[in-house]
């Protein structure tokens, strides 16, 4: 007759306690607030078509790089995202993944860097989204 050793139940009990502690820490450590809603935020969307961001001479219109926001506070930086749409394609953005949008803001004026508008001659539409 094979008798089990006396320490097997202790090992199983120890593993069971660790497993229960792990599960409880995951279950009780969950954060119920998945998001916080800020009602005081303002969202502005500037939409530019090809007619507006290409001048009559065929150059890029630098006027769309300067946006006036009189209620913009210098204490809280805005979130700026630029969305592009090419001919016969869907909307896409470079600003949220590989490339950061370069801009400066002061006294209610946001000045976008022209390098944000890459390959502008191939685009149909540009949207600039500003949340502040």
Residues of the chain with pLDDT under 70: 1-12, 29-32, 94-99
Domains in the chain: how many in total? 1
State how far the Cα of 47 lies from the Cα of 41, in Å rounded to an integer. 20
Is 91 a domain residue? yes
Is 76 a domain residue? yes
Is 20 a domain residue? no
Is 2 a domain residue? no
Is 3 a domain residue? no
Q: Which residue range forms the structural domain that includes residue 47?
A: 43-131
Is 125 a domain residue? yes
Return the pLDDT at 46.
92
Return the pLDDT at 114.
81
C-alpha angle 66/71/72, rounded to 5°?
60
Of the candidates 45, 46, 57, the residue with the CA atom closest to the CA atom of residue 121: 57
Task: Judge if pTM exceeds 0.85.
Answer: no
State how far the Cα of 116 lies from the Cα of 95, in Å rounded to an integer. 8
Is 32 a domain residue? no
Is 12 a domain residue? no
Query: What distance separates the 2 farthest-apart alpha carbons in the chain?
Result: 98
Return the pLDDT at 8.
54
């Amino acid at each position: 007759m094979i008798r089990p050793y006396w320490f097997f139940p202790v090992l199983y009990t120890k593993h069971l306690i660790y497993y229960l502690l792990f599960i409880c820490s995951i279950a009780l450590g969950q954060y119920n607030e998945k998001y916080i809603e800020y009602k005081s935020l303002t969202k502005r969307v500037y939409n530019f078509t090809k007619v507006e961001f290409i001048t009559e001479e065929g150059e890029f219109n630098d006027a769309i790089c300067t946006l006036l926001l009189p209620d913009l506070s210098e204490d809280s930086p805005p979130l700026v995202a630029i969305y592009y749409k090419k001919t016969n394609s869907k909307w896409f953005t470079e600003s949220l993944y590989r490339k950061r949008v370069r801009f400066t803001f002061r006294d209610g004026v946001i000045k976008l860097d022209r390098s944000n508008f890459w390959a502008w001659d191939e685009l149909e539409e540009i949207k600039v989204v500003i949340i502040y």
